[in-house]
Every structure is written in structure tokens, then in C-alpha cells.
Chains A and B, each alone.
Chain A
Amino acid sequence: MNIDSIRNGLVIDHIKSGKAMEIYHYLNLDSLDCQIAIIKNATSKRMGKKDIIKIDAEISVDVDVLGYIDPNITVNFIENGVKVKKLHPELPVQITDIIKCSNPRCITSIEQDIHHIFKLSDKEKGIYRCIYCDSTPKVTKE
């Protein structure tokens, strides 16, 4: 696969270096059978070093989830070898069933079939809180 010549698919760019695998995991990319290139520590004028993921297939991506993981990411949509759209994901207002509440005193620890929902409580700092117990997720984000 020539990583520069995707025909139809998407390029997830400006990923903070070292975070590519985390995004690979969140987007469930291991369930795809198309070609996927993960480029780590590419040089970037703006960032010094960055990671890039190139996916050679038209898949739908929950851009908002990417905004939660890393708001600096850009998503480029490629059609017939041409970039047709570029998106800067924003911090989602709510994330459902992406991360689990880690508070052992939270009702989510015992109630069956419950959705794990976090709401954005501080946009500037990117802080999310569990809607049930108000605790912040343990996943470390910088």
C-alpha cells in the first residue's frame, strides 16, 4: 500500500505522537479488513512529532469521540484520491458507552444494562463527569 495514495478513505492527522494506538482501539479499527497504515512520530512543522492513521476504506467515524480523545486531531476525507472534506472535531457535549465510570460507589458498578454517560462539564479544561456520580473518568488525557 502506498500510504500517500489513498483512493477512498480517510486520514486521521495531527494525532499527538504516541496516541495512534489509543485511537486505533477507540475506533475499533481492528475489526476492519481493509488496509490501514499507522505512522508514528512523523515530523510535523506545527507539532514537532505527530502520529497519522490512514484508512483505505470508506468507513463512518464518530468524529466526536476523536474530539474527546484528542481535540487537535484533524480528519481528512478522501474521494478518488482527492481531499474532499477536512474536519476539526470538537469536544463532544456527551459521550455514551465509550468509557466506563471507574468510581466503585457509582450505580453503574451494579446496575445491569446501564449506559455509561459522561457530560462535558468544563469546556476549557476538557473535563467530563459521569452523569450519575459526577466523578471524572480515570483515563488520563493531557
Chain B
Amino acid sequence: MRHLIDISDLSVTEIDELIDVANDIIDNPEKYQEKCKHKKIATLFFEPSTRTRLSFEAAMLELGGSVLGFSEAASSSAAKGESISDTVRVVSFYADIIAMRHFKEGAPMVASMKSDVPIINAGDGGHNHPTQTLTDLLTIKREKGGLDNLTIGLCGDLKFGRTVHSLISAMTRYKNIKFVLISPSELRLPDYIKNDVLEKNNVPYSEYTSIEEAMPELDILYMTRVQKERFFNEADYERLKDSCILNSEKMKFAKEDMIVLHPLPRVNEITTDVDDDKRACYFKQAKNGKYIRMALILKLLEVE
């Protein structure tokens, strides 16, 4: 039995296979609509995330399965003080697979140690969110035709942004990848990722504080949210947030075939005038999230 706790639990070959299955689902959805008949997914969301939960539930429903679960800790047994271990032991009697989101880092790993059914980490605090990374990889493959030979700009909160950290560790496994890091100096990528991931794997990177300078060389611009609570004061936030805002004016500096990604939800870091640009791929990305989760459920349930 396999779980997905961290993106590195999957080999490059397995990721390629998942992407192939997801593409086949997109092309031939009718082939898959009864694959998980009589199977159930439990979505245990100790921390609310409507978007991710609905994506898992839609994925299972589209495979012909059904869903059960809860959407916040207050409506679960955790509110009564039950441990993760006990919750998961019990839920694995009722469901064939579990997607868990939790505010504590490592909670899905604890669950995987006690569960009789596969566990999918649907986000554990600021730590990992592997199905977001799979979604990103599927989108890059579909839009750019492959995962090699890419210059990837990462913009926004690179210090606390877990989607950025996971994407970096996933992409360093592909050939000829270059990263361009764009963030205010307060929110720069942590040194341990630069040392342990980028430099250790000989992946080149450069750093900028504004989007315009970096834009011309990018194949992909991955935008993230800059959260107000990361700053000590309002003035710093106001001063810095503009350097990480993408608008149609800045898009003029980009290549014709560059793509813009964002894990969503956005606040104001991409102005709505960018949405109509053919290079804006963040809504396609959200749609792809369902298909890659369908492929993942099939894999973990070992459904042919």
C-alpha cells in the first residue's frame, strides 16, 4: 500500500505515468466514469480549504465513487481531543482512501503510520502540499510540452510559500532547469533550500526584486500570494507588495509563449486585466487539479 505524503515519495517515472493518465482522462473521460464504483474517499479537513476539498471530492465522484468527511476541525472528533492516530484508525474502516488536510506539519505522516488505507496529504500547515505540485507539473507539461529545458520564475513569498518549495524540489529532478527568484528581500527563499536543494543539485538560480527585470528570460512565471501577516507593519507591506504584482503592463516584457501560473486563490497579486492574456494559465491549472487527483486516486487504489 502506498501513501502520498511528500512529492519525493513519487519517482520521476511515476510522476510521468500520473501525468499520462491525467491526460488520458482529459481526452477520454467516459473511459473512467465507473473506475471507482463502490469506492469511497474520506476527506478529513482539520483546516478548511474549500477549493482543495472540492477538487478531491469532484475527482472521486467523476470516477464513479462516493465521498464522506468533514471540512473543519470544529465539526470533527479532533474538537473533542481525539488523536490523529485514533481518528485515522476508525475512518479507515469506513473509506477506501483518505485525503487529509491539517494545520499541523506532519499530521498526514502520522496518519499514514496508523492507517489501513492510502493517505493523501492534502496540505499540512506550511509544510507540504504534494497534489498542488502534481497539478503544477501536469499544467507545465500540457502547456510547455515537457518538463525539461525551462527557466522558471518564482515570484512573491518565497520564504514561507510551501507550493514554491515543493515545486523547486520536484523540478530539480528534470534536465536543464533554471530558477529566477523574485521577491522582496524580507521574503527571499530560505538558505537551506538554496544550499540543500538548488546548489546540491547544481541547479542555477538568480535573484531579483522586481518582475520587470526578470521577465524577458522566463518560460514560466509562478506567482504566489504575499500575505499581509508576514510583515511587521502595514507600511512595509504597502511598499513591498507592488514589486510582486503582475499586471498587463508588465506582461509586455514577457516572451510570447511564457505561461503564468498561480496556485489560487489570488488576492491582488495578479490584476484581473491579465486574465484575458492567452499566457494566463492559472484557471486551466485549477481545472487540471481535478484530473491529476483522479489519476492519483486510481494509482493509490491500484485500479487498472
Contacts and interface: CB of A to CB of B under 8 A. Distances in A.
Contacts of B83: 111-113
A85 to B, nearest CB: 36
Nearest to B106: A132
Nearest to B103: A105
A131 B85 contact: no
B85 to A, nearest CB: 7
Contacts of A121: 196
Given A130-B106, A132-B105, A132-B110, A107 B196 contact: no
A131 B106 contact: yes
A130 B107 CA distance: 13
B106 A133 contact: yes
Interface residues of B, number: 16
Given A105-B125, A105-B126, A111 B105 contact: no
A135 B104 CA distance: 13
Contacts of B290: none
A114 B85 CA distance: 9
B102 interface: yes
A68 to B, nearest CB: 19
Chain A contact surface mostly: loop
A74 interface: no
Interface string A105-117: 1111111111000
A111 B105 CA distance: 11
A103 interface: yes
Interface string B90-114: 0000000000001111110110000
Given A111-B84, A112-B83, A134-B127, A105 B104 contact: yes
A109 B104 contact: yes
Interface in A78-117: 103, 105-114
A106 B84 contact: no
A122 interface: yes
A122 B106 contact: no
Nearest to B109: A132
Interface of A: 103, 105-114, 121-122, 130-135
Given A132-B106, A134-B105, A135-B105, 14 more contacts: A105-B105, A107-B105, A107-B106, A107-B107, A108-B106, A110-B104, A111-B83, A111-B84, A111-B110, A113-B83, A132-B105, A132-B107, A133-B105, A133-B125
Cβ-closest 7 pairs across A and B: A132-B106, A133-B105, A107-B106, A107-B104, A107-B107, A133-B106, A105-B105
